Structure 1
Amino acid sequence: MSTQVETMNAQEVADRLVLLCREGKNVEAINELYDDNVVSHEPEGSPMREKIGKQAVLDATNQWFDSVQELHNVYISNPIVGGNFFACTMKVDATYKENGRNVMDELCVYEVKDGRIVFEQFFYPTGN
C-alpha cells in the first residue's frame, strides 16, 4: 500500500489559485501553492521588479494590500493551461492611499513544478 501523496497538476493548481484569489485569500494562496524558492517578475518600471522566495512574495503582497484604501472590484478570469504553465487575466479597481483610484488590467503567467508554483510573471503597463 502506497502512502505517497499525489501532487496537484497545473490545472488543479490553477483552479485553486483562481478560487482563493477570487475569495480575497491571496496570502493563503501563496502559503498553500507557492514553492519556497518561487521567482516573481513584475514589468520594467514596477517598484517591485523581481522577488525571489515565498517570503519575498508574501511581503510584497502584504505591502500592496497595505497600500490599498478600498478595493472596489477584482476580476480574475478562468485559467488557461498548457503543460506546466497557466495564465489568467486580472483586473483590479482600487483606491490607493497615496495615488487615488486606479484600474489595473494585467496578464498573469505561472509555471508549476511538483504541484507548486515556481515562477510567476505579470504583464501590465507601467507608464514607461
Structure 2
Amino acid sequence: MSTQEVADKLISFCRQGQFSEAINELYGQDIVSVEPDGAPEKEVRGLEAVKQKTENFNNMVEEVHGMEISDPQVADKFFSCTMKMDVTFKGAPRTTMEEICLYKVEDGKIAYEEFFFTPMNPGG
C-alpha cells in the first residue's frame, strides 16, 4: 500500500471508532509510538505494546461524546492529521483533547507514530 492508501484507511477506521482494526491491519510489527512528556506512556515499541497502550487509554475513558479527524496531509513516507476528541475520563471533568498525529509508513505499514498535545493535569 502507498502512504496515501495507508493514510486514507487509517482515517476511515478512526472516523468509525475502529482503532483496534486499524492497528491490526495497518501497523507494522516493530511500530514505535511516541507521546509527549507528561503522558502516561512516553514511548512504546512493538505491535503488542501499542495494542496494550491503546487498551490502557480506553480503560481511562468513561465516555466519548464526539470525535473529529481531519483529512490526512501526505508527503513522501509521512502523513499527519489532527484529532479532536470530546471525552470524559474516569474521575475527571468532561474535556476536549486536540492533537496533531504524525505517522511514517514503511513497506506499506505504519512504522512510527508520534502525537503532539498538551497532557492533562492529573486530577483535572
Per the normalisation by structure 1, the TM-score is 0.91
Unmatched 5+ stretches in structure 1? 1-7
Match of 1:75 in 2: 68
Q: Distance in 1 between matches of 2:85 and 2:25?
A: 23
Match of 1:47 in 2: 40
**Other structure's SS at 2:94 match:** strand
1:123 partnered with 2:110:
no
Runs (4 or more) in structure 1 with deviation over 6 Å come to none
Q: Distance in 1 between matches of 2:64 and 2:79?
A: 25
Alignment of 1:99-118 (within 5 A): 99-118=92-111
Worse-superposed segment, 60-69 or 86-95: 60-69
Tell me which of 78, 85, 102 is aligned to 2:78. 85
Alignment RMSD, CA only? 1.2
**Other structure's SS at 1:59 match:** helix
Q: Distance in 2 between matches of 1:12 and 1:127?
A: 33
Per the normalisation by structure 2, the TM-score is 0.94
Q: Distance in 2 between matches of 1:116 and 1:98?
A: 36
Kindly name which structure, 1 or 2, has the bigger radius of gyration based on alpha carbons: 1
1:25 partnered with 2:18:
yes
**Other structure's SS at 1:17 match:** helix
Unmatched 5+ stretches in structure 2? none
How many positions carry a matched residue from both structures?
Answer: 121
Q: Distance in 2 between matches of 1:94 and 1:45?
A: 19
Match of 1:63 in 2: 56
**Other structure's SS at 2:63 match:** strand
1:64–1:127: structure 2 CA closer, same or farther, 3 Å change rule? closer
